């Protein structure tokens, strides 16, 4: 079973500190597209209606509401124009957590770091009047939370996030397809994954074909980014359990770094080609810095 509820006998430490929560209350997700939500929140929407912000004009057509005619323009131009407005709408924020076994690596594990990041993104969304839904996925199991809205949903949302467990191999393309199919409306999708899967290019291509915005936060442990092993070692694939014995010589480490850099460059290039954001996060960096500094520099958070 991959998603488990915490029990009173094994209460977890808080996902986020009170200080971090207070900072998140002053931030918000910054979607680059104007999207249509379902209820009024704090977001600009492409839906044209009678809200507070003027957007544009169009020519009057028979049957239009005369309340929205610009009579000053009519007096000057002897033509009738209708005022268009931008409604304030909520944003749907989706967070997909890679729950494959490779994420259960490091101390703290990549999965624990991703849980905290998911909690931060979800809480920020609820505090700014948006909706948040969370997903966890591996090749063995997948789980979707309900759609959360309002700060009062925070305890339930945090319990759901805390219950995510790692199991099985990665199938990121299938995970992205699943989220896109079940998401009730376009929005902002965050993917928290190490992308250590042969299908990462197909998964990013699938993300690029979807509606709305996307940000991929690629999570590495420090020892994955810069291995500290030396001499003869046995490497174990955390998902397939296959083993490889090798000597971590300077030349091997150099080739590893070259392969790592090529991989990361490929991910960044693919993300930019499809028009969404990519951020590398190493788990020795505080989640707070990633969310409130790094994502803000990318203009994903405001």
pLDDT tens for 89-132 read: 678 999 999 999 999 998 889 999 999 999 999 999 999 999 99
DSSP 3-state of 227: coil
Q: Which two tokens mark 116?
A: 């905290």
Q: Which two tokens mark 99?
A: 């729950």
- Domains with residue ranges and CATH for the chain: 8-33+91-221+282-297 (3.40.50.410), 43-89 (no CATH)
Phi, psi of 5 (to 5 degrees): -85, 135
User: Do 287 and 294 meet the contact criterion of CB atoms below 8 Å apart?
Assistant: no
Cα gap 273→265, rounded to integer Å: 12
**Tally of CB atoms within 10 A around 11:** 9
Query: Going by C-beta distance under 8 Å and a sequence separation of 6 or more, which residues neighbour residue 20?
Result: 120, 287, 288
pLDDT digits (tens, 9 = 90+) for 34-56: 443 444 444 444 444 434 455 56
Cα gap 302→38, rounded to integer Å: 22
Supply the pLDDT for residue 152: 94
Supply the pLDDT for residue 194: 97
Supply the pLDDT for residue 86: 47
Strands of the chain, DSSP E: 43-49, 53-59, 81-89, 92-98, 131-137, 142-144, 148-149, 188-193, 213-220, 231-236, 243-248, 277-282
User: Do 44 and 143 meet the contact criterion of CB atoms below 8 Å apart?
Assistant: no
**Tally of CB atoms within 10 A around 43:** 24
Residue with tokens 């929205």: 68
Supply the pLDDT for residue 39: 42
Supply the pLDDT for residue 146: 97
Supply the pLDDT for residue 7: 40
DSSP state of 29: B
Supply the pLDDT for residue 122: 98
User: Do 54 and 44 meet the contact criterion of CB atoms below 8 Å apart?
Assistant: no
Cα–Cα–Cα angle for 58, 61, 64, nearest 5°?
95
pTM above 0.85, yes or no: no
Spans in the chain with pLDDT lower than 70: 1-13, 32-57, 60, 62-64, 83-89, 229, 231-241
Cα gap 217→276, rounded to integer Å: 11
Supply the pLDDT for residue 192: 98
Burial class of 181 by CB neighbour count within 10 A (0 to 12, 13 to 18, 19+): exposed
């Amino acid at each position: 079973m991959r998603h488990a509820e915490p029990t009173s006998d094994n209460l977890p430490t808080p996902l986020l500190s009170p200080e971090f929560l207070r900072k998140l209350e002053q931030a918000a997700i910054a979607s680059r597209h104007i999207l249509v939500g379902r209820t009024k929140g704090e977001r600009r929407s492409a839906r044209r209606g009678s809200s507070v912000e003027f957007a544009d004009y169009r020519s009057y057509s028979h049957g239009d509401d005369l309340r929205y005619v610009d009579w000053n323009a009519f007096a000057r131009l002897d033509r009738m124009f209708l005022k268009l407005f931008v409604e304030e709408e909520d944003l749907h924020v989706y967070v997909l957590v890679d729950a494959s076994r490779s994420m259960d690596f490091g101390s703290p594990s990549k999965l624990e770091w991703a849980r905290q990041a998911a909690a931060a993104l979800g809480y920020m969304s609820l505090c700014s009047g948006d909706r948040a839904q969370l997903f966890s996925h591996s090749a063995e199991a997948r789980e979707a939370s309900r759609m959360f809205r309002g700060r009062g949903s925070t305890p339930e949302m945090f319990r759901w996030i805390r219950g995510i467990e790692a199991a099985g191999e990665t199938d990121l393309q299938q995970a992205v397809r699943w989220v896109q199919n079940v998401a009730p409306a376009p929005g902002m999708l965050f993917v928290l994954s190490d992308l250590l899967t042969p299908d990462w290019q197909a998964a990013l291509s699938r993300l690029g074909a979807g509606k709305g915005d996307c940000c991929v936060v690629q999570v590495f442990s420090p020892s994955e980014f810069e291995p500290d092993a030396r001499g003869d070692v046995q490497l174990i694939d955390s998902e397939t359990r296959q083993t490889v014995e090798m000597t971590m010589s300077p030349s091997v480490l150099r080739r590893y770094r070259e392969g790592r850099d090529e991989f990361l460059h490929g991910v960044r290039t693919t993300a930019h080609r499809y028009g969404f954001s990519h951020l590398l996060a190493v788990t020795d960096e505080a989640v707070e810095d990633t969310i409130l500094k790094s994502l803000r520099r990318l203009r994903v958070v405001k």
